[in-house]
Chains A and B, each alone.
Chain A
Amino acid sequence: MRIGVTVFPGSNCDRDALYGVGRVGADAVELWHADADLKGVDAVIVPGGFSYGDYLRPGAIARFAKVMGPLEEFAKGGGPVLGVCNGFQVLTEAHLLPGALLRNTNMRFICDRVRVRVETVDTPWTAGCDPGEELTLPVAHNEGNFFADPETLSRLDEEGRVVLRYLENPNGSANDIAGVCNEGRNVVGIMPHPERVSDPALGSDEGLRILSSVLVGAGV
């Protein structure tokens, strides 16, 4: 399986995401922001970082990058897409995912490990997890406070589209939401960084539960 990782100016978890992809035994493919070409990959990860310096709003400029055209088509065609942290912010700005990520309520950058619960296994990025499974994953963000209007929030709950939920909410997110998916369930955005716990040498490889799910779904 070939998994692409987009690289925007200012992405800084792209190398980590490529490393994580390698850890699950898939082929990692770098997707440069200025090339409107997904190089035939089977899945795409939009990694964390500060694309375009987070100027204006996190993700607001990246959504206009050339690579986003084919990425949006890929997503609309049902291709598996995972946005991590800044990647989640990019996908909400691109309207591939609902809601928005606001400043953390404590107005500080938060780098920590948090407990989350897998709320649905019906997405390509959680298919390998157990329903209700609890994971400890790193977070590192300034704007991780998920916000959506009340109707959207209740729809997300009714349709089982909350993918990860914080057990202890670090940033003020509505309904403790740490990750959501789109209606088609193939596009997932999460604030925690699974690639940062993809190796026992780093103290944990629980992140592989997420990253390897896409292989399970594809029957690899």
Chain B
Amino acid sequence: MGRAPNFLELSLFSVMWSEHCGYKNSRPLLGRFPNEGARVVQGPGENAGVVEVGDGWALAFKMESHNHPSAVEPYEGAATGVGGIIRDILAMGARPVALLDSLRFGPLEEERNRYLFREVVRGIGGYGNAVGVPTVGGEVEFGQAYSGNPLVNAMCIGLIRVEDLVRSSATGEGNLVVLLGSKTGRDGIHGATFASDELTDESESKRSNVQVGDPFCEKMLIECCLKLLDEDLLVSLQDLGAAGITSSASEMAAKGGVGIEIETDSVPLRESGMEPTEVMISESQERMLAVVEPEKIDEVLLLAERYELVGAVVGRVAGHGDLRVIHDGEVVGTVPAEHLADAPVYERDVVRPRYLDDVPELDLSELPEPEDYNSVLLQMLGHPNLRSRRPIFTQYDHQVGTDTVVLPGADAAVVRIKGTDLGFAATTDGRGRHCYLDPRGGGAATVVEAYRNLSCVGAEPVAVTDCLNFGSPEKPDGYYQLAECIEGMSEACEVFGTPVVSGNVSLYNETDRGAIYPTPTVGMVGVLDDVNRHATSAFKREGDRVVVLGKTPPLLGESLPSEGDLLAGSEYLEIIHDKFAGLPQRSDLAAEKKVADLVRELIRSGLVDTAHDISGGGEAVALAKMAIEGGIGFDYDGEVEIKDLRHELRGDVVLFGETNPDFIVAVPEVRWDDLQNALVGFAYDLVGTTGGDRFKIGDLIDVKLSEMREVYERDLFESHAPEGGRIG
């Protein structure tokens, strides 16, 4: 700039160069992600990624974190996370049609964690339900590493015609800059910088950095913006998120290669006496910034009024490349827009952390084999990490819009596109424990899990958005984990042909108890050419043949994974043996793809309508869930001996091992021959038949379905208080 910036200008830099806005630590690493593909219409760099679905339809989608605000003010933190991600999608011109989330909390035995869990879920519902966008899916896990530092990642998907896409670059000198939505207040000032620091005892005092959401206003904003775009009244559109007007205006200007002048006196204010700096960096919610040609301004303002929104001309597009702030007719700050939008980059050394060498090896000989597998299975099904998510998703409106074909609780949500045969599927997944034990392998496994989940419903996975939740990048451990997870994720995305088209980074997830597990979460979107050809995991009929597809047992000549590898980092180890150890086997990505693609083809061809992947809890838990959800029992085929088939593996390894590309499908007897023909050349086991009211696996497990249901469906919000009392 050639001079010392004044206070206002420094404030602009302070918010824009925070990690949250500027990605100064993560940017060099993010370039590793593959982001091109045949279906990609818009890769990273806009408000959301966009992929083509077919028939001229496209999906705009993105995931974003609201971890820090949710840690101190869980209801509003989660609610505004939902509101913010919806506006990102809206800024692309798309109608938001689906929400998902990915959540992490500390163990429910601690009251603070129960409070955070309950209020975050209420906040997501409180906003999503009112705004009228269905919450169709998501995931949640509990672990000590997230105690006091919950992860709240929200994903939104929007539907749009390819030709209607809107870009955010400002153009046309003399065009007007219009602020739409709610008035601007002092809420959320320095939210972006708060989100880029570790959580400490003082964080509670930053509750005022958390914004307050108004879903009613957002609903009007959605309808108003879509109407404005429909009538072709806007040049460009941008949402206001972190760093408020500063961020939106400087990004719009930098992208268009123009300048923007903002008159802070023209911004409609919620409270009096706000300084220009406060107006510029306020993070008041439910606001959008639009560039409008002067001759269309009256129509724009009239429409805003029709939707009962504040609409005001707050500036104009200028030929110079600066973001200029004008107050009382005088320029009070001038900064080149591209400087603001282009934060410095910190390249750091990638140093392997010592802890990775200290992860205890898993020695199965020290692990007693359970005597009573019935009680082990029930204990697993009742654990918060594996238990039914019904008490959560029944608090979310998942049906508004009349397009949700596969409801929450399935491997992935399936949503139709009205007026076509097309549908899309979406899932969110994260594997923090695995990423801690092996960042690169865990990063890949995260993508694998999403790829499998989409395949299980019959969707072709097409692209990925991500949220990179990590500890401080200023510490070597955190930076290494970030770099390695990105590497693993990228490798998997390359093999699967699912580019990363949008994403968000949340660093500094640390408390005085230490950093969270490195937890990149992935939101993957897939396409169904015929939405009626989909599958769910629930058993559908009595007498179905149940088949496990995949690599167990290994084909002749392949090396056998060690028993320890199959249990490393598993739910079974943690829940039953209270152990967190071992190095999970790395995924064979090509094999994963081959089996998942096979499952998808079985569903697409109409042969299979029941499918589920084996993941947390292993084969026994997967089968048990299919039985509980379908209300139909299961009998392991008595003719086959587990130990022969599985190469003399231990019972617990077979039942609860996790890291193989295995799927379960079920078909009625009449389709059994067809299925066998379709599986020629693939490894599979016929494991049993559906029916009855008991769940039986060989001579190891024999429980009543009702007994399993009772532990599986126990209310996540009402158990766990130390005295067994009601939460809250």
Interface residues of A (CB under 8 A from B): 9-10, 12-13, 15-16, 19-20, 34, 48-50, 52-55, 108-112, 138, 140, 142, 193, 195-196, 198-199, 201-203
Contact = CB atoms under 8 A, between A and B. Distances in A.
B397 A202 contact: no
A202 B404 CA distance: 7
Contacts, number: 83
Interface of B: 125-126, 129-132, 214-217, 219-220, 306-308, 393-405, 416, 418, 531-532
B533 to A, nearest CB: 12
B214 A53 contact: yes
Nearest to B715: A106
A55 B216 contact: yes
A202 B130 contact: no
A9 B402 contact: no
Given A9-B220, A9-B308, A53-B216, A140 B395 contact: no
A50 B399 contact: no
A140 B129 contact: yes
B216 A9 contact: yes
21 contacts: A9-B219, A10-B130, A12-B400, A15-B401, A16-B402, A50-B216, A53-B215, A53-B217, A54-B216, A108-B395, A109-B126, A109-B129, A109-B396, A111-B399, A112-B394, A138-B399, A140-B399, A196-B399, A202-B402, A202-B405, A203-B405
Contacts of B393: 111
A10 B129 contact: no
A18 B232 CA distance: 25
Nearest to B406: A203
A41 B400 CA distance: 25
A16 B531 CA distance: 19
Nearest to B132: A12
A108 B394 CA distance: 9
A50 B215 contact: yes
Given A50-B215, A111-B397, A201-B416, 7 more contacts: A9-B307, A9-B308, A12-B132, A12-B400, A53-B214, A109-B395, A202-B399
A138 to B, nearest CB: 5
A106 to B, nearest CB: 10
A66 to B, nearest CB: 13
Nearest to B309: A9
A199 B398 CA distance: 16
Given A10-B130, A53-B130, A111-B395, A195 B220 contact: no
Contacts of B400: 12-13, 16, 48, 140, 196
A181 B639 CA distance: 61
B231 to A, nearest CB: 16
A67 to B, nearest CB: 14
Contacts of A20: 402
Given A109-B395, A201-B405, A49 B532 contact: no
Contacts of B216: 9-10, 50, 52-55
B120 to A, nearest CB: 14
A138 B532 CA distance: 20
Given A10-B130, A12-B219, A109-B125, A19 B402 contact: yes
Nearest to B306: A34
Contacts of A55: 216
Contacts of B405: 201-203
B218 to A, nearest CB: 10
Given A55-B216, A111-B394, A112-B394, A12 B131 contact: yes
A142 B215 CA distance: 15
A13 B403 CA distance: 12
A54 B130 CA distance: 9
Contacts of A203: 405
Nearest to A49: B132
A20 to B, nearest CB: 8
A48 B216 CA distance: 14
A196 B403 CA distance: 9
B158 to A, nearest CB: 15
B560 to A, nearest CB: 43
B645 to A, nearest CB: 37
Q: Which of A20, A108, A111 counts the most chain B CB atoms within 10 A?
A: A111
Nearest to B416: A201
B130 A50 contact: yes
B401 A16 contact: yes
Nearest to A10: B216
Contacts of A110: 394-395
B402 A196 contact: yes
Given A9-B220, A50-B215, A52-B216, A109 B531 contact: no
Contact of A111 (B214, B308, B396): B396
Nearest to B219: A10
Contacts of B220: 9-10
A160 B92 CA distance: 52
Contacts of A10: 130, 216, 219-220
A109 B401 contact: no
B531 A201 contact: yes
Q: Which 10 A-B pairs have the closest CB atoms?
A: A12-B132, A53-B216, A50-B130, A140-B397, A16-B402, A109-B395, A196-B399, A111-B397, A10-B216, A109-B125
Nearest to B130: A50
